[in-house]
A and B are shown apart, each in its own frame.
Chain A
Amino acid sequence: MGQGKIVAGCLAPHPPHLVYAENPPQNEPVAEGGWEQLRWGYERLRASLSHLEYDAIVLLSPHWQTYVGTHFLGLPHFEGLSVDPVFPNLFRYTYDMSVDVDLARAIHDEAEAAGLPVKMMENPDFRVDYGTITTGHLFNPDWDKPLVVISSNRSTAYYSVEVMQEIMVELGKVTRKAIEASGKKVVVLASNSLSHRHFTTESDLPEDMSKEHITSHAMHLWDMRIIEYMRSGQAQRILDEMPEFTEQAIAESDGGGLSWLLSTLDVPDYPAILHGYGTIIGTGNAVVEWPCYAHEEGSQ
């Protein structure tokens, strides 16, 4: 078995609106389109990675919210109906997914050895959260790769962004270590929006794009600042400014996904590719790829 590696890392947000707007057969409600800039962003991301061979997707979703430690899906197969509790009018999706339990357990064990509270989720009745399902669909609509799903520990709420980031940087390091030891090729995904202030009203037609815009200028400035750091290979600055960004932009990075992703990618100093940016009920969302495959040691 060769050395395992991370072939790509992505920021892959999960608003159910994107699945709704695309009308896949798995989703029940029907839309007239909408949010094309982001959906085409996902298309570009999929095209960009289509040449890669990989074995599994490792994903951290802020909608599997755990207060007691970090949890991992621990059974090989989950299927069911995912209904978004906030936007049930848009997202009622029949899912059928497989889990790479070996890799999940490997990351779990590394994390435990590093002193993090962790648990495998082995209840077959468990309903997989809609963030995982949405990002899972948008990233890989064929669902033909097994996933490792990591819960979002709510340490930002319990302590602070700083404490959350300490935990997530550690979790990222052990994730990387476990992937390398596994011999597998893996894509890692952080499923979160950037600025995260929602509108509190919805138009009668949710996909009416004449109503879609960022909630405030300040949110826009923060989103562009963070994206610019991504585009210019300054991941460390994102980590440095994470407390201010998360608090001032009410960013969904509070769930730890972005900190974990950057740490898992070993805080990349090469430019990320922005595939798309757009707002969804006022929140800022970017589809971003870190092309690790092009920056492997020894590659030119």
Chain B
Amino acid sequence: MSKGEVVASFVVPVHPHTVLAPDQNAGWRRLRDAYDQAAQTIKDLEADLIIVYSTTWPSIIGHQIQADPNPEWVMVDHDFHDLGSIHYSFNIDQEFAHGWNKANHQRGLQSRCVNYKGFPIDVGSVVALTLLNPDNNIPAVIVSSNMYANRSETTVLAKSCLDMIKAQGRRAVAVTAMSLSNRMFTDFIDPSEDKIHSLKDDEWNRKILEFLEEGRLEDVGQLSRTIHQQIRVQKVVAFKPMWWLSAMNGNRNNLTGKVLAYEPIHGAGGAVVSLDPTPSGAGDKEYDEDDVEHYQGERGVLDTSSADSSPEASTGPATPPSATANPLASPSGQGPALWDPTNAEGSVNTEAAPKPVGAYPHARQVGNMLYLSGVGPRQPGTNAIPGGPIHDVEGQPLDYDVKAQTRAVVANIQRIVEEAGARMDQVVDVTTFLIDMKRDFSGYNEVWAETLGRYGPTRTTLAIDALPTPIAVEMKVIVHLGE
């Protein structure tokens, strides 16, 4: 099995002209030829998966992933119905779609697969797959563009896709079906009269293409909001595809880019651009936004009263006001059920720490000693695991970041310690459990030195077989409260 990677990326136009009317206009023909060239490149690369992020498939409830193994129908464009109909029959990788969906959940995203006969596949996806995969030899997957998604949500969507590409060892091609400037003429035109809607749109398009030709994909991603204000009609879905495509390529500025064609389609900017992951000259970034691993944004709209706002928990039994033994729901669809902390004399519990996975408190005080239950990295409220879970719901190993997990453990310890009215410098003894000593000790040790190590508690580190949730590190802590 290969290591799993994105072997090429493409930006492609969405309107049906390249399929249905390439010979009505010389520019549409050049776009079509560029599409055909891209299809040949994909074939030559021996790619085994085409992933389409389509701006013409808006969604509201998180992201939707097409999972019908053979969607077949006839697509007629809402505007350009007089150009004709596109009959499609695609080869969708159902297994990848479901895996990606699960990976999304693990990274805190709302997401679902759709597998319904007659589902109306959007024009951008139909055009892209019809032309990039004409023989249907390469399995494909299509994802929607969420109306409300911000950069972090869109970035995490790409990272969970990469999780799956790596887990399955795929040679994937990433495609964004999109216009550059998307302002069309609002009246009917003769095909021979087509041009970019305005000089300003044309200039911005050329600037974007100049960046892409230099391989500066992340710069285009970070300028997306500006681009959106400048040359995008404020349609349902904003200019998000470059966030996704850049994250699919490791948020880099040193790709090898090539503009295969740039032409107007009824006034909008249509371009076929190829982005080869091979590093080229450029490299520095215009500026840096957070590199987010987990989506922790707007969640739990339906159930604001519950401390645990994961969708599973929102339909579970309500949290009782007093802390009793009461399992809630499993964290992010993985691991055991969550419990409210118990509350015997001397117990210390806090909403700011993750819910227990059994009947025990976060900590318990006896005299001037405070004993903490084992603390992991799960996030209070969302149960997301910073640095990622160690495996998916089916037990397939995932690439996780032990340093991020260790930092999250220490942050959870601090919340519990402070809830008890104590300080971190009163921590006197720590026992750490690692599930993979060989892989993780040095990363964990580095974070330890920057955090707990500064306060000087004694420490014991053990390798163990497993922890109850998909985490790599847990700590058992004893605090001396002083007089």
Contacts and interface: CB of A to CB of B under 8 A. Distances in A.
Interface of A: 64-69, 71, 80-81, 83, 85-89, 92, 117, 119, 121-123, 125-127, 129, 151, 153-155, 157-158, 198-205, 208, 211, 215, 281-282
A181 to B, nearest CB: 25
Nearest to A121: B81
Contacts of A201: 61-62, 110, 299-302, 311, 314
A203 B119 contact: no
Contact of A200 (B58, B61, B120, B188): B61
Contacts of B61: 86-87, 198-202
B186 A203 contact: no
Contacts of B443: none
Contacts of A121: 81
A68 B118 contact: no
B315 A69 contact: no
Contacts of A65: 78
B450 interface: no
Contacts of B120: 83, 85, 127
A31 to B, nearest CB: 16
B302 A68 contact: no
Nearest to A154: B235
B235 A157 contact: yes
Interface string B299-320: 1111100000001101100000
B301 A123 contact: no
Contacts of B85: 123, 125
B306 to A, nearest CB: 11
A299 B80 CA distance: 46
Nearest to B268: A67
B122 A85 contact: yes
Interface centre among A67, A204, A282 (most CB of B within 10 A): A67
A247 to B, nearest CB: 11
Given A71-B81, A83-B116, A201-B301, 13 more contacts: A65-B78, A67-B233, A68-B184, A68-B185, A71-B79, A92-B116, A117-B186, A121-B81, A123-B81, A200-B301, A201-B302, A201-B311, A204-B311
Given A200-B110, A201-B302, A211-B303, A117 B187 contact: yes
B82 interface: yes
A91 to B, nearest CB: 10
Given A125-B76, A127-B120, A67 B301 contact: no
Contacts of B463: none
B102 interface: no
Interface string B84-103: 11000000000000000000
B60 interface: yes
Contacts, number: 122
Contacts of A86: 58-61
Contacts of B300: 201
A158 B183 contact: yes
Contacts of B57: 85
A66 B60 contact: no
A86 B57 CA distance: 9
Contacts of B116: 83, 88, 92
A157 B148 CA distance: 16
Contacts of A151: 78
A157 B234 contact: yes
Interface in B210-250: 233-235
Contact of B187 (A68, A129, A199): A68
A77 to B, nearest CB: 16
Nearest to B119: A83
A204 B315 contact: yes
B314 A211 contact: yes
Nearest to A202: B61
B44 interface: no
Interface in B259-316: 266, 298-303, 311-312, 314-315
Interface string B61-80: 11000000000001010111
B114 interface: yes
Nearest to B85: A125
Contacts of B311: 201-204
A282 B235 contact: no
Nearest to B311: A201
Nearest to B148: A200
Interface string B39-62: 000000000000000000111111
Contact of A127 (B76, B112, B183, B235): B76
Contacts of A215: 301
27 contacts: A66-B78, A68-B188, A69-B188, A83-B118, A86-B60, A88-B116, A88-B119, A92-B116, A92-B118, A127-B74, A127-B76, A154-B235, A155-B186, A158-B183, A158-B186, A198-B60, A199-B301, A200-B60, A200-B62, A200-B110, A200-B301, A201-B299, A201-B300, A203-B302, A205-B315, A208-B315, A211-B302
